[in-house]
Amino acid sequence: IPPPPPPPPMASPAVQVAPRAVSSKTESYVDNKRKDDIRMSNITSARSVADAVRTSLGPKGMDKMISTASGEVIITNDGATILNKMEVLQPAAKMLVELSKSQDVVAGDGTTTVVVIAGALLKQCQTLLHSGIHPTLVSDSLHKASLKAVEILAAMAVPVELSDRDSLVKSASTSLNSKVVSQYSSLLAPLAVDSVLSVVDPHKPDLVDLRDVKIVKKLGGTVDDTELVKGLVFDKKVSHSAGGPTRVENAKIAVIQFQISPPKTDIEQSIIVSDYTQMDRILKEERNYILSMIKKIKATGCNVLLIQKSILRDAVTDLSLHYLAKAKILVVKDVERDDIEFITKTLNCLPISNIEHFRAEKLGYADLVEEVSIGDGKVVKITGIKDMGRTTTVLVRGSNQLVLDEAERSLHDALCVVRCLVNKKFLIAGGGAPEIELSRQLGAWAKVLQGMESYCIRSFAEALEVIPYTLAENAGLNPIAIVTELRNRHAQGEINAGINVRKGQITNILEENVVQPLLVSTSAITLATECVRMILKIDDIVTVRIRSSNRFTRSYEQGKEHKL
C-alpha cells in the first residue's frame, strides 16, 4: 500500500484571515449584541403601537374606547386621538405618537394610515437587519424609495379646481366615511366645504387658517341639527338678571376688556368704615362711578356689550347690570380671552381696553343679536354682520357628550381635507389603490437596480401592501384573495382599481367617488419613512439621571456621615 500523500503546506494566518475580513465588510454586517438588542427593542416597541391602531383603519374599522385617569371616556377611531391619549413610555414608541401628530398638523387626515405604514416598514427592516444588511444602507434605500413613491403618486393624481364643489364634497365624504358619525357624512361634508371656501382669502388663495372656522358644541338634538351660521354663536346666556333685553335689532356691538365694577386698590389693604355716613358716601361714589361709565357707553349709541372674562375682579356687578338693563343694553359676559381675536375679526371692530377709549368707530354693526333656546340650554346668535370678516361658525349638535366630541373631531378632519385641496389642488383614488400601484411600480423599479439597494426597495414595496390588506381584513373580506386580485387588476393597467368595502369587491374606486387629497398620501409616505429611518439609526439609549450639584448639600451630607 503506498503511503498517504503528505498534507498540503499550511497557509500563513494572514492569508487565511484576510478573505474572511473582506467578506464580512462587503457581504454581511455583524453588529455587536448590545446594539442589536437596542435596535430590535425599539423596532418591536414601535410595531406594537402600530398594531394597536391597525384595527381602526378604513370605513369598516373598529372604534376604541379610551378611559382616562380622571374618569373621562372617549370613543373614537381617529389615530391621532387614540395615540395621544395612550400612555407610551418607550422612547422609540413615542416617536410613532409624534408621527401621528405630525400627520395631523400637515394633512389633518390619514393619522392611522401613517402609523400602519411605519409599522409595516419597520417589520421589513427587521427582516433586512436579520439578513445582515447594514442599517445605514437600509435607511438610504428607504429614502430613495420614498422620493420615487412621491413621483409615482404625483403621476397618478387628478387636478381639481376649487370651483368644482362636487369633487371637494366627495373627498370630505371619504374622510368622514371612516368615522363614528359616518352616517351623517352627506350633511357634514358639504358643511365642511362651505366653511373652508367662505374663509379663503382671494389675495392669498393657497392659505387657509382653520382658526377662522369656529366650532361651537351644544348638547341636545342629533348631529342632523348641526348648522353653519354666518355670524357668531356664544354658548352662553344673555345676562338678564336685572331684566335687560334679550333681542336687539340694528345692533351696535362693543367688545370690552375692562370691568364695569367699582375699582379696587392696587395692593392688598382694608378700609375701616366707622359710621353710616361714610358707608353711604362709599356706596354713592360706587353708583356714580358705574353710572358715569354707562353714560359714556350709551353716548356712542352702543346697545350690545361683549365683556371679556376677568381674573382680577368681577367684570360686572349686580348694580352695573341693573344700570345696563335700564339703558336697554344687551350684555354677554365671561367671553374667553382666546375668543377675542376671532370675535373682533368677525365683527370687524376693535377691542376696547379702557373706558376713555370708548368711541363709535370702534364698534361693530349687526342686523340682529338674540338669545335662542336650543335643547335644554340657550345660545346667543349674532347675524347680519356689516362688513363681516372672513370667518364662519359651525354649531354642532349631539345627543350625548361622546357623540358631540367625536362629531367635532370628524368635522375637523373633513375641514383639514378641504384645506389640503386648497393648498395642493390634486385628488387621488382611495381604497388602497395608490398603495398597490406604488408597490407594483417600486417592485418593477427594484428589478432595474443592483445590489443590496434592489433587495431593500423590493422589501419596502411589499410593506406598502399592508394598507389594502388591512382594509380587506377590517371589512371581513378574504385579504389574501382581495390583494392578489388587486395586484392582477393593476398589472393589467387599471391604476384606479381599489377595494370597495361596501360591495365587498374590487371596483374602479374613482367612479365610486372614493377620493382623497394627494397631500394626505404623499405626507403619509414621507413622514412614515422619515420616522423609520430615524428609529433605524438609533443603536443605543442613554438615560440621564438628575444628580444634586449643590456643593453645600453634598458637604452637609458628608458631615452627617462623618459624625455617624
Known catalytic residues are: 78, 111-112, 413
Distance CA 495, CA 439 (A): 12
DSSP assignment of 265-304 equals -SS-------SHHHHHHHHHHHHHHHHHHHHHHHHTT--E
Q: What's the number of CA atoms in the CB half-sphere (13 Å) around residue 150?
A: 15
- Helix, strand, coil percentages (3-state) for the chain, rounded to 5, are 50, 15, 30
Distance CA 392, CA 184 (A): 20
User: Are the CB atoms for 389 and 214 separated by under 8 Å?
Assistant: no
Distance CA 455, CA 463 (A): 13
The SS3 assignment for 367 reads strand
Q: Which of 85, 120, 121, 84 is nearest to 99 (CA)?
A: 84
34-41: Cβ within 8 A, 24+ apart: 34/540, 35/539, 35/540, 36/129, 38/538, 38/539, 38/540, 38/541, 39/129, 39/135, 39/536, 39/538, 39/539, 40/126, 40/129, 41/90, 41/92
The SS3 assignment for 380 reads strand
Q: Which residue has the cell 370613543?
A: 75
Q: Produce one character per residue of 35-73: b if its CB has 16 or more CB atoms within 10 Å, e if not.
A: eeebbeebbebbbebbebbbbbbbbbbebbeeeeeeeee
C-alpha Rg value of the chain to the nearest Å: 33
User: Are the CB atoms for 184 and 362 separated by under 8 Å?
Assistant: no
Cite the DSSP H helix spans in 86-184.
91-106, 111-130, 135-156, 165-176
- Dmax (CA) for the chain in angstroms is 142
294 phi and psi, to 5 degrees? -70, -30
User: Are the CB atoms for 181 and 403 separated by under 8 Å?
Assistant: yes
The SS3 assignment for 449 reads coil
The SS3 assignment for 159 reads strand
Distance CA 512, CA 125 (A): 35
